[in-house]
Structure 1
Amino acid sequence: MAGIRLRLKDLQLDLQNPRISRSDSLREALQKIIDDQDLKLVVLAESIIEDGLNPMDRWLVLKASDKPKKYTILEGNRRFSALQILNNPAVLNDLEIRLPVKKHFQRLSQDFDLKNIEPIDCFEVQERSEGASWINQRHTGENKGRGIVRWEGVQTSRFRGSDPALQAFEFVREHGDLTDEEKEELADRFPITTLDRLLSTPDVRKAIGVEVSDLKLKTDLPLSEVVKPLRRIILDLAKSKINVTNLKSKEQQVNYINKLGNDLPDLTKRTSSITSVENLEEKELPVEPPAQPKAQPSKKTREIKRTALIPRDCYLTVSNPKIAEIAKELRKLNLEEYPHSISVLFRVFIELSVDHYLTQISVPLVEIDKGGHQRDKNLRTKVEEVVKHLISSGTPKNTVEPVKKGIDNNRSPLYINTLHDYVHSSFHTPTKRELEVAWNNAQAFFKAIWK
């Protein structure tokens, strides 16, 4: 293998690109990438214009067997597609592409200069199999550390800088008298953006006795008072007692804060000295009363630990043999050991379930587009049709609408792009908690389908 620098015209798409199904022509390959990426390709193009190509990522290439002067791109097909369109937006005239996406590319192309990109740093392999292990590491998750280990919310915030939400988080970790179990719950997967949403609301800050200035979280309360609401809020978020869905509006946020009870600070203890929470004196740390022993549940009421996606107490009458087998596997596979397998099967289970239901009520799975061509309905459309029919058939609206809403909510584990990422993204690694929440939100929907 060796480093090599190439021009755009020296390169071509890989017809065997795993991101898309096998293509018969370069035009078909580009069309499939556009279909798969849509606005993501626009965002990538914007990034290339603003910052250029990432110097940490070289393209992996292989000499084309049918064109000696060309190189097939094994790794870098999305970047090449974006560059190809930016350099020659007329290529879109012969392809099917949503008008907003097309117009965005046309506008971006006016600011694109190929001279700022070429030559492109590549790495040549002699055989496709030579690059397989590197591509596998990059696109199949963390692989116990062999692949790219992604940052979680808190780690990302640390990289971007110490914002007020991160200051509150670190303050509670240091001064909150947390138990070992609570420290475990404050792992790096903590929803830091939801905490930031709360602290961005003036009425919330006023109620808990803090303010933000110069990107610092400040207070004129003693440590023993300000730590109470911050500790409660952060633990509630860590334990998912409250989440972004419950805190979308100002009214929801204020209502939550007003219910903190004894965890609200005594505002009469305000001082005349405003300081950053990072600089509060350790000596003011509150003394906690001794913890009361927790009553142990009886054997009859002891909760059964959930290890699989579908809980033991969820009963589904799945009549289709293949779908029943998938459900069976989702009851057996361990969530912590097989998150990728489970997430893909979950995505398949959703689509096959809605397909089965629509077929049973004689609703077609295809539609005619504006060009008069027949195409398969997308998953969002099919879910909406199933929800609509279930409600019209007497199913309580509040039991099935969460799925419809989740499909369109980018913070929901049922968000349509998240479901697609389970199958197609090389960077999305679902967590046990994410998968559990996704199933919990959809369980009533599945029960209505398979009753």
Structure 2
Amino acid sequence: MTTVKDKSVPISKLDLDLDNYRLDVSASSQSEALELLMESFGESIVGLARDIHQRGELSPIDQMLVLPVDNRYVVLEGNRRLCALRLLNRPNLAPEKYRKVFERLSKKYTPITRVQAKVIGNLHEAYEWIELKHKGQGQGEGTVTWGPNAKRNFLARSQGKITYIQAIDSTLQKWYSDDADFQEMLRSIRHGDHLTNLERILQDRFVKDQLGIEWSNGYLSFKYSPEDLQPFFARVLSSITGDRGVNQASWSRAWATAGDRKTWFCAQDDVLPESSNRLKEPITIKGEVPDRGERPATDGKSPNRKPSTPKPKKEDSRLDTRGFAPHDRYPLAVRELFNEIRDVDYSTIPNMTLDSLRSLIEKTIKAYAQLQGDRVRGPENQRSGKEGFAQFGHCISWLQEHCKQYPSLKGHLTPISALTTKQTKWPRTADYFNGTNHNDQFMADKTMVLEAWNTFHPVLQDLLNRGPEAPPA
């Protein structure tokens, strides 16, 4: 095969493929090729243009493949991208149906004039690579698509978005850590192809209602104790990991409909918790990414001994910022402060860490308010009649009122309330944060820093990730 070369190519020298395999007919000109693409893929091209507009760049891991022809380049792979770029740069070329969308996007858009492309010298060689990309994974030579587990793991690690079943998995690991057989079944489900089946039965609305489980804003709520729920959880795990008879349908089929799941659940009455044992106050747990742990036993048998005690890990004295991804619409000062604080050893310099954390919370709330079209206001100065500076307490009060307006944010009211009440334990109050730079007698230690972080970081994480996106009503 010939060598494929990387080259920065001007957009003005790129041409759409008139024989684009995405289209049912060939085009006679560039304008017709663009029109045909917009007729067939207009909505997806608009979505791609919005993404390019927001990011200000194309994906660096998916470059165009181009063929040199008469001192220009025909795009063999990446025609939708070229179409989106061309219309962002020249919205007047867009079909009337989409013209207003591209005119609006182009107003606050810095035109991309060049792209990194793969230049190939042979059309037949190009077809081989294009077929490899689009025909499917084959025997592994093509792109292997993500399964449900991979999608969950990626969202958890990249965006801190924990799914319901991941939160359940993590909770079961902690609740029943001393039950070796239970943990072996859980590992088998986690590392096999059965997590979707566990999700199918435990996500069912009827099942959750009967078990007293609620999932809201990243928090699990249980209305029965771990002891009351263990027999049912054990039954579910053993059912999924056990052998299915020759004439028995797979669990994906056996639990395919709500009626199927309800019938199966009601037949497990011997392991269901007694309704009289419902707790007066539910157990609330923040959803966490489950520890993937070791793989299950290869012989298919559960070990008869308890797992050995793991060696203690070296303490990482940095704040856990996994899942944080500050939106690029936040001011540079906020993003830089976050980048600095994530690398600080809070056990060595707790006072400075706490002071930086206070600044990060205050700056984030102020910036978030502005991204929502509002701003945090300070008290009025009675003598001058001018508005005073918005301080930490004003930011917390603004955020509290803001979160009350949106169901998706009401889960933040508990940690926010902890900062505003005088009855809360000292290290979690707003006074504690203010003491870092107003009280010359105040001293922090690493335990206090970590407790303050654990109290407020879910709120901070959500605001930093959310950016200008308006909270859903």
TM-score computed with the length of structure 1 as normaliser: 0.48
Between structure 1 and structure 2, the one with the greater Rg is 2
TM-score computed with the length of structure 2 as normaliser: 0.46
